[in-house]
Amino acid sequence: MIGLQPITIGLFLQQHVNKHSLSRIDLKALLAWATGLTQTQLITQSNRKLNSLELNQLEQAIQRRTQGEPLAYITNQKEFYSRTFYITPDVLVPRPETEELIDQVLTLLQAQPTAPYCIADIGCGSGVIGITLAAELPLSTVIAIDCSSKALQVAQQNAHQLKVHNIHFYLSNIFSYFETHTPTLQFDLIVSNPPYLAHNDPHLEQPELKHEPQIALTDQADGYSFYRQLAQESPKWLKNQGYLLIEHGYTQQQQILSYLEANHWGKTTPFTDLAGLPRMILAQK
Ligand SMILES: C[S@@+](CC[C@H](N)C(=O)[O-])C[C@H]1O[C@@H](n2cnc3c(N)ncnc32)[C@H](O)[C@@H]1O
């Protein structure tokens, strides 16, 4: 596909940007990954020649990307809230809209940003939510759980790489670890971005989603089972006036609000994301 002749970064970009069904952004991200240069250095060093190792890596990476594999699985990294996370096919690729959950938490806790909060991240995946909250709220403690041991390994590696120590990881089916080991534990905040696609959701057929773990995408039911369980069981694990903050699919807000209402939650506040789509709910016990 790519002639392995010595070629400069600038020329490579020029030649390949229209050749594949790849965006210029993706191509530049792959160039940065293969060369170890920043986006700015790609411009300032556009006359630098790509060596044969870099060209080989780029050839394979472009092929994988054009077959629909997410960029984050090829480069093994993804930016989230200005930190670089290690990402493998064992975890969901973190989505930019999930950063807005972080904004909501920090706004919510802004009154006392340094208070020692106890926070649960249910379904932590790569750990982006829990690790970011632990890093932004260094006096707080985050308990992050996932039912996938492979995902937990990735999350633990991220906490280690990012030098975040006020987070602890447990293998658990939602609250089951706490039921067994810490039945009286209570959190100030439970945050979750659970799998929310129904088993027959057509989005699951999209090429990029086909590369992601099914267990991170769908509850294998109607897409609402985690919300029903969180609405029902979270109050037991929250202090009085504690919060539940959930991310959900953009068509699901009304139905989830009705589950919260049926379970007698105090105040519920629905939020839209930056694209204006209904995307999150904050509920107070
Ligand atoms: C949508 S992903 C979210 C990952 C990460 N929090 C994020 O926002 O990028 C959902 C996560 O929930 C986990 N999960 C699925 N079923 C679970 C269960 N029954 N108990 C705990 N975690 C579960 C999956 O392994 C996956 O990591």
Question: What are the structural domain ranges in the chain?
Answer: 7-67, 77-284
283 CB-contact burial (10 Å; exposed 0-12 / middle 13-18 / buried 19+): buried
Q: What is the pLDDT of residue 2?
A: 46
Cβ 94 under 6 angstroms from ligand 1: yes
Considering only CA atoms, which residue is closest to atom 24 of ligand 1?
216
**pTM, full prediction:** 0.94
- Which residue of 121, 124, 273 sits with most ligand 1 atoms within 8 Å of its CB, as the best mutation to test the pocket? 124
Among 103, 159, 168, CA closest to 128: 159
Average of per-residue pLDDT across 51-76: 95
Angle between helices 253-262 and 225-233 (to 10 degrees): 30
Cβ 194 under 6 angstroms from ligand 1: yes
207 φ/ψ sector (left φ>0, alpha ψ -120 to 50, else beta): alpha
User: Ligand 1 centroid to 185 CA: how many Å?
Assistant: 21
| Half-sphere exposure of residue 9: CA atoms within 13 angstroms, side-chain side | 23
From residue 200, give the alpha-carbon distance in Å to each of 205, 215, 250.
9, 14, 17
Q: What is the pLDDT of residue 23?
A: 87
The per-residue pLDDT for range 187-224, each reduced to its tens digit, is: 999 999 999 999 999 999 999 999 999 999 999 999 99
Cβ 92 under 6 angstroms from ligand 1: yes
Considering only CA atoms, which residue is closest to atom 12 of ligand 1?
123
- Which residue of 126, 129, 146, 227 sits with most ligand 1 atoms within 8 Å of its CB, as the best mutation to test the pocket? 146
The per-residue pLDDT for range 229-260, each reduced to its tens digit, is: 999 999 999 999 999 999 999 999 999 999 99
The minimum-distance atom of ligand 1 relative to the CA of 94 is: 9
Q: Which amino acid is at 195?
A: P
The minimum-distance atom of ligand 1 relative to the CA of 126 is: 5
Among 268, 188, 259, CA closest to 230: 259
The per-residue pLDDT for range 127-167, each reduced to its tens digit, is: 999 999 999 999 999 999 999 999 999 999 999 999 999 99
CATH 2.102.10.10 describes domain 77-284: no
Tell me the C-alpha distance between 240 and 220, whole Å: 33
User: Ligand 1 centroid to 33 CA: how many Å?
Assistant: 27
The minimum-distance atom of ligand 1 relative to the CA of 196 is: 1
Mean pLDDT score across all residues of the chain: 94
Q: What is the pLDDT of residue 180?
A: 94
Q: What phi, psi does 22 have (nearest 5°)?
A: -110, 145
Cβ 148 under 6 angstroms from ligand 1: yes
The per-residue pLDDT for range 103-125, each reduced to its tens digit, is: 999 999 876 766 789 999 999 99
